[in-house]
Structure 1
Amino acid sequence: MTVAVRTGTWQLDPAASRVGISHRGMWGLITVRGAFATVGGRGEVTADGAAAGVVTLDAASLDTGHAKRDGHLRGAGFFDAEHHPEITLAVDGAERTGDDTVRAAGRLTVRGVSRPITVSATLADVADDALTLTTEFTVDRAEFGVGRKQLGMMPGLTTVTATLRFTRAAG
């Protein structure tokens, strides 16, 4: 059974949403995990079923539970949050690929560098006034100039996990 999503404007509920990252480091022995404390976004579903929107992360809000590491990740060698305060995923189009799955295509921007991206998400808890999207995908941080190869640092993929709760905007 396909779940219908109402047309209109949808607003991200930051209190009910979470975006986290994980990356293997230290010769692959340790996985560093963190979450962004400040998440925002919005979306729109049109009458023909097309969807578009944006999710924005405050780069300085990354919390890994280790203050010194967090400062380093926010610094010039990684996210450079002072000069690039936002990380954005701008979705130009999204389509249903199954009863509860969606494929979204757009651009991911990190450190002022934008790259095309396509992600799959699961649609859950759909009601007239709210819905949740969950996704997990990988990003090659080198494509965005994030970090540099150092002794003990693992190059390659960072996993992004997100649970995004949207509520239907009034009007």
Structure 2
Amino acid sequence: MTAAVETGLWQLDTTRSVIAVSHVTMWGMVTVKGEFNGLTGEGEVRPDGTVSGAVTLDAASLDTKHKKRDEHLRSADFFDVEHHPTLVFAVRDAVFRQSGVVEVEGQLTVRGVSRPQTATVKVTESSADAIALTTEFTVDREQFGMGWNRLGMMRGLTTVTSTLRFTRASA
């Protein structure tokens, strides 16, 4: 598949999009997985080939299927949702490659801290009315002020995976 993506405005299809995280804990013995249930997003592909857009996550919507852990993740030890209710990935540049691959440069903002973030994105669907993208990248949570690590339980990077489907926005 080529990465031919139609120009125009695109809106995230929240019913067919998923953003998940996983992190190895308990000294490497357990992988905690969760999904964000609250997400929004939009994008624009301009005639000159430049791309802009953003995906916003409701930090309180992370669901790991463990109520007490989810409450702790919402606390000041991690996402601090009271003061920082959203996480945002804003696209700064995108370069379309062969075989449906897009190199994306963006800015990830978590807990009010913004850092550059790159991702290699695969275009899995591209038509006049829909675009679907998949990616996986890692994040160092300590760079965003989430250094909680009781007894050294949490080491390494957090893996973020996403399947995002956008539909053409109405004019």
Distance (Å, rounded) in 2 between the aligned partners of 1:139 and 1:23: 10
Match of 1:156 in 2: 156
Matches within 5 A, 1:5-154: 5-154=5-154
Gaps of 5+ in 2: none
Q: 1:108-136: per-residue Cα shift (whole Å, max 9, x none)?
A: 00000000111110001211100101000
How many pairs does the alignment contain? 171
Distance (Å, rounded) in 1 between the aligned partners of 2:33 and 2:45: 33
Q: 1:136-169: per-residue Cα shift (whole Å, max 9, x none)?
A: 0000001101141211522220000000000011
Match of 1:167 in 2: 167
Gaps of 5+ in 1: none
Runs ≥4 residues deviating over 6 A: none
Q: 1:31-70: per-residue Cα shift (whole Å, max 9, x none)?
A: 0000000111000000011111100000000000000000
Distance (Å, rounded) in 1 between the aligned partners of 2:142 and 2:133: 27
1:142, 1:156 within 8 Å by CA — same for their partners in 2? no
Distance (Å, rounded) in 1 between the aligned partners of 2:99 and 2:27: 41
Please identify which structure carries the higher helix content: 2
1:59, 1:81 within 8 Å by CA — same for their partners in 2? yes
Distance (Å, rounded) in 2 between the aligned partners of 1:52 and 1:130: 16
For 1:57, what is the secondary structure of its paired residue? strand
Return closer, same or farther for 1:3/1:143 CA change in 2, 3 Å cut-off.
Answer: closer
RMSD across aligned positions (CA): 1.0
TM-score, with structure 2 as normaliser: 0.97
TM-score, with structure 1 as normaliser: 0.97
Distance (Å, rounded) in 1 between the aligned partners of 2:160 and 2:10: 22
Distance (Å, rounded) in 2 between the aligned partners of 1:39 and 1:101: 23
